[in-house]
């Protein structure tokens, strides 16, 4: 038994003493592909709407509310799914957000918002998290689809083109400053700027 452990330890410490260098390189390469591929695949699975609404907290509240909005049903049939707006697309930011999401797993396990009432009680805080994130990154997740450079002001209504060509153009405001609650219902907005 002791011998077996010793051999095992020495294999780990100096593998090249037991296996050929070629086998180690090729083996390491293949293992790398499997692990990286597996990690990425798992990450992408958690980045789908089906995964998000597999929890009833998401399906019964935010997903249900989204169904009537223009980001779900519209003339052109292009629609946004949960991760399009709620997960950054750049890799490092995405990983950072995924790490934050571990708190959401905690919340799911302990039923922080497992009833509609609890969800409504938490709604302002949850909304503020998203507003803060979008404000900090200049509404990046909006701009992944809605690119300011290609906006045709003449196609917009007068009010919209006025606001977009002034406040948005000079960077005084970002999308989320005005477009709060476009895909979900709003919390009580008392004290929120612009309300």
Q: Which of 21, 159, 170, 171 binds another protein (CB under 8 A)?
A: 159
Contact flag: residue 189 with another protein (CB under 8 A): yes
Instruction: Specify the residue, 149 or 158, whose C-beta has the smaller distance to another protein.
Output: 158
Cα separation, 66 vs 52, in Å, equals 13
Cα separation, 132 vs 137, in Å, equals 9
Cα separation, 118 vs 176, in Å, equals 25
Region of 27-35, 128-136, 144-152, 155-163 interacting with another protein (CB under 8 A): 155-163
Binding residues for heme: 52, 55, 58, 85-86, 104, 142, 145-146, 175, 178-179, 184
Instruction: Specify the residue, 88 or 180, whose C-beta has the smaller distance to another protein.
Output: 180
Instruction: Specify the residue, 148 or 162, whose C-beta has the smaller distance to another protein.
Output: 162
Q: Which of 3, 102, 154, 157 binds another protein (CB under 8 A)?
A: 157
> Residues with Cβ < 8 Å from 118, sequence gap 6 or more?
111, 112
Buried b (16+ CB within 10 A) or exposed e, 34-71: eeeeeeeeeeeeebebeebbebebbeebbbeebeebeb
Instruction: Specify the residue, 77 or 194, whose C-beta has the smaller distance to another protein.
Output: 194
Contact flag: residue 153 with another protein (CB under 8 A): no
Instruction: Show contacts with another protein in window 43-82 (CB under 8 A).
Output: 68-70
Contact flag: residue 40 with another protein (CB under 8 A): no
Contact flag: residue 121 with another protein (CB under 8 A): no
Query: What is the number of residues in the chain?
Result: 195
SS3 for 41-69 is HHHHHCCCHHHHCCCHHHHHHHHHHHCCC
Instruction: Specify the residue, 145 or 186, whose C-beta has the smaller distance to another protein.
Output: 186
Count of residues near another protein by CB under 8 A? 16
| 113 CB burial (10 A radius; 0-12, 13-18, 19+) | buried
Judged by the rule CB under 8 A, the positions of this chain that interact with another protein are: 68-70, 157-159, 162, 181-182, 185-189, 194-195
């Amino acid at each position: 038994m002791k011998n077996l452990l010793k051999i095992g330890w020495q294999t780990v410490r100096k593998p090249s003493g037991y296996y050929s260098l070629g086998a180690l390189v090729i083996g390491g390469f293949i293992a790398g592909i499997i692990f990286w591929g597996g990690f990425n695949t798992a990450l992408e699975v958690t980045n789908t709407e089906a995964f998000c609404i597999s929890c009833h907290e998401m399906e019964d509240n935010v997903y249900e509310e989204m169904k009537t909005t223009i980001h779900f049903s519209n003339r052109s049939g292009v629609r946004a799914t949960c991760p399009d707006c709620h997960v950054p697309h750049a890799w490092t930011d995405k990983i950072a957000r995924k790490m934050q999401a571990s708190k959401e797993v905690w919340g799911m396990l302990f039923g922080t918002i497992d009833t509609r009432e609890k969800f409504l009680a938490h709604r302002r805080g949850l909304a503020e998290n998203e507003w803060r994130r979008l404000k900090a990154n200049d509404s990046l997740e909006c701009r992944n689809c809605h690119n300011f450079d290609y906006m045709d002001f003449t196609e917009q209504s007068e009010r919209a083109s006025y606001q977009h060509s002034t406040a948005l153009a000079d960077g005084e405001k970002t999308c989320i400053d005005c477009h709060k609650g476009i895909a979900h219902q709003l919390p009580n907005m008392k004290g929120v700027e612009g309300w």
